[in-house]
Structure 1
Amino acid sequence: MAEVEDLLEGVAVRLSPAEEIRAKGQRRRTRSRALRAGAGGAALLVAAGAWALLPSDDQATRQTVTTATANPFRTDGEIQMLRTDELPGNARWHWKESASLPAGAGRRSGPLPQVGLDEACPASFAARESPGQKAYSLVYTGRDHALAQYRVVEYDDTATARSQVAELREEITKCGLRTVTPTAREKEEGSKAWSGTVQDGRTLRVTVRRWNSWVSVAEVMDGAPSAG
């Protein structure tokens, strides 16, 4: 202490205890680290914000699907019918394309809003005026008497297509079918699905999709009618 006082020309200087000096140093280092961490955190937040503005692969895919302007039902003038492996239940029934329904299987559905292969929903077959349309249809047969049909209908305008889908949904509901979760592929396409047991005991599943003035309907019915 005396040597320090002599060096400062008689001005007394009180030195802090070693413990207090170390404590102050520790506080300064802590504040410094906090400031650096805050600056780094802000940089990370800015980076995270920038990434948030970029769509993920899934988001980009969804955006492409929902904003696509290409007609999903017709490519280069050719109508796109479902392949057998694109029909629901293919792993179980092993679908095959057929020119017509098998003998004794009844008849296929005609213009919308008819629904139900083999007239499984007979009320929808009531006579009614059909709007201007072009229809394309394909039948499939599967194991254990399973039947399927895919229809693509082009209407004169979008408003007509929309109204026909509304009527079709009413007929589906009258037939006793209820909304079910669509497959991953159907959901991506924006399709809606219904399923239920029809009056002869078979299960009917119907998928409906609309794009502008175009409508597609996929119907899958399992097995043969129950006895009696």
Structure 2
Amino acid sequence: MAEVEDLIEDVAIRLPGAEDIRARGQRRRTRARAVRGGAAGALVLAAAGAWGLLLPADGPEARQTVTTTTANPFRTADGEVVMRRADELPGYATWHWKEAASLPGGAGPRSDALPQVGLDGACPASFVPADEPGQQRYSLLYAGSGHALAQHRIIEYEAITSARSQVTALRGAMERCGLHSASPTAREREEGSTVWSGTVDDGRTLRVTVRRWKSWVSVEEVLHGTPAG
């Protein structure tokens, strides 16, 4: 291999040839790519591990209704439970929701407890005796034009496992009612909610939005208007 010698202040300096320099550069580039690849792999594994921590250990229905936020979305820092304003409910432009103290006379059964669902008796199959684990319930009713009805329920359970099992039971009640998975609005998608919708016995549409955060469950029901008495 050809080498160049030079003398500077009696010190001999040997410079490697061009081929040797190119070979060393190639080895450095190979090592750099290996390091970058390893770092990227570590980041992917770390991200996968973090996502795994966010997924609950139960079925898909509970997984779909759990939010990843670290702050309770249903209670303010002052301890106030956050209920939906009338103008935030789906269908406000059509039904013009207003808060109501109670259901109209003859509107049928109403319950705050899960897994019962279906205002105005829309889902009678869900109104059966069911276990009610320790819970604190909050509820708000809304009346709309054309005899439309809506309700927002927030339930705080004593344990996360109870909230999960009640969400699963609620899904069963909605399926018996003939409801099916539906597309959420942009806000509902952002909040991590799942939506169920379908036609009930009297021909009206019932839309149910379900959202869970730890031991808290939020259920919004909107029963479209028309049939009355």
Higher RCO (CA < 8 A, seq sep 6+): 2
Q: How does 1:66-81 map to 2 (within 5 A)?
A: 67-75=68-76, 76-81=78-83
Structure 1 stretches of 4+ moved >3 Å: none
Q: Is the 8 A contact 2:67 2:212 kept in 1?
A: no
- TM-score scaled to structure 2, two decimals? 0.68
Separation in 2 of the partners of 1:79 and 1:188? Answer: 20
Offset of residue 158 of structure 1: 0.7
Separation in 2 of the partners of 1:98 and 1:206? Answer: 19
Partner of 2:123: 121
Q: How does 1:137-216 map to 2 (within 5 A)?
A: 137-216=139-218
Partner of 2:39: none
Separation in 2 of the partners of 1:153 and 1:85? Answer: 22
Offset of residue 154 of structure 1: 0.3
Deviates more, 1:101-110 or 1:165-174: 101-110
Structure 2 unmatched runs, 5+: 1-42, 44-65
Change (3 A) 1:71 1:183: same
Offset of residue 67 of structure 1: 4.2
Change (3 A) 1:156 1:200: same
Q: Which has the higher helix share?
A: 1
Deviates more, 1:147-156 or 1:216-225: 216-225
Separation in 2 of the partners of 1:81 and 1:201? Answer: 28
Partner of 2:99: 97
SS in 2 for 1:79: coil
Q: Is the 8 A contact 2:119 2:221 kept in 1?
A: yes
Separation in 1 of the partners of 2:140 and 2:220? Answer: 10
Q: Is the 8 A contact 2:67 2:211 kept in 1?
A: no
Separation in 2 of the partners of 1:216 and 1:90? Answer: 19
Deviation per CA, 1:24-43, whole angstroms, max 9, x where unpaired?
xxxxxxxxxxxxxxxxxxxx
Q: Using the aligned pairs only, state the percent identity.
A: 67
SS in 1 for 2:171: helix
Deviation per CA, 1:69-122, whole angstroms, max 9, x where unpaired?
111111111110001111000011110000101122123233000000012111
SS in 2 for 1:220: strand
Partner AA of 1:74 in structure 2:
R
Deviation per CA, 1:113-165, whole angstroms, max 9, x where unpaired?
00000121111110122110000000000111110000000000111100100
Aligned residue pairs total 165
SS in 2 for 1:74: coil
Offset of residue 209 of structure 1: 0.3
Decide which structure has the larger Cα Rg and report it.
1
Separation in 1 of the partners of 2:125 and 2:118? Answer: 10
Q: Is the 8 A contact 2:98 2:142 kept in 1?
A: yes
Q: Is the 8 A contact 2:138 2:153 kept in 1?
A: yes
Separation in 1 of the partners of 2:82 and 2:130? Answer: 28
Partner of 1:82: 84
Change (3 A) 1:66 1:167: closer
